[in-house]
Amino acid sequence: MPNYRVKETWFPTEIAIEPNPLIGIVENEGRFYNFQFIDGEIKSHNAVSKIDTYWNEFQDKHPAYLHVGIPLSYHFCDNEKDADECAELVRSGIKQATTHSLSWLHINNEKMPAEGDLAIVTDWNGNPVAVTKTTKVEIVQFKDITPEYAFIEGEGDKSLSYWKEVHWAYYTRELSEYNLKPTLDMELVCEYFETIWPVVDAGMKIEMEPAFSINR
């Protein structure tokens, strides 16, 4: 007698199923499928991606988002090591900003990030690790990035010098495809966000608070 698992509930197929129709997610050998169970028969099913499953889990825990469609999913950086490290920094609530080249966004017809945007951050291999919500967007020239912002972006030792070094190298690689080079006057889109899932531990948030003493 076959059994199906809907979320965490097991049931045999020949007993009466309520409600009718029943719509849900079935797991079979580690893969997930959407299904419709009507009058004792499975009428339709299709494979569910890791992103779909992750978003469904998020919605289960956050009913306010039940009617929100699956947002954009993406990974950081252009290599596996950095992408996975940044994903973990977002998951743990340390990295709470990212910086786009405005030129790259325009060339690729990508929309500007906006306050309230939701996103699913993944590792290099597309495994979802966090849901973020954009809180603020600013356009800033490369030369005007501040130590405070570098700290919020949370990478490396969180210093401005580290931020400048790794981002200059990244923009050099990113723009070379279009025969462009980064400049100190280049405009960047600074996107601030918060990690809304998983919930960041309060103790970790305390560690994130910067302690700057800067003379301007």
Q: Per-residue pLDDT tens for 13-52?
A: 454 555 666 666 666 555 556 566 666 665 555 556 899 9
Of 19-28, 55-64, 77-86, 142-151, the least confident: 19-28
Q: What is the Cα–Cα distance from 33 to 56, expressed in whole angstroms? A: 12
Same domain, 199 and 94: yes
Distances (CA, A) of 136 to 116, 158, 168, 202: 8, 20, 23, 22
Same domain, 25 and 85: no
Q: What is the Cα–Cα distance from 99 to 191, expressed in whole angstroms? A: 6
- Classify residue 61: in a domain, yes or no: no
Same domain, 150 and 204: yes
Same domain, 9 and 74: no
Determine if the pTM surpasses 0.85: no
Task: Give SS3 for 74.
Answer: strand
Same domain, 33 and 97: no
Average pLDDT, rounded, for the chain: 83
Residue among 216, 189, 212 at smallest CA distance from 134 = 189
Same domain, 43 and 77: no
* Domain span including residue 8: 3-48
Here the contacts of 26-35 (C-beta below 8 Å, separation 24 or greater) are 28/4, 35/4
Domain harbouring 72, CATH code: 3.10.400.10
Number of domains in the chain: 2
Quick: pLDDT tens for 76-126.
Answer: 999 999 999 999 999 999 999 999 999 999 999 999 999 999 999 999 999
Same domain, 11 and 95: no
Q: What is the Cα–Cα distance from 155 to 194, expressed in whole angstroms? A: 15
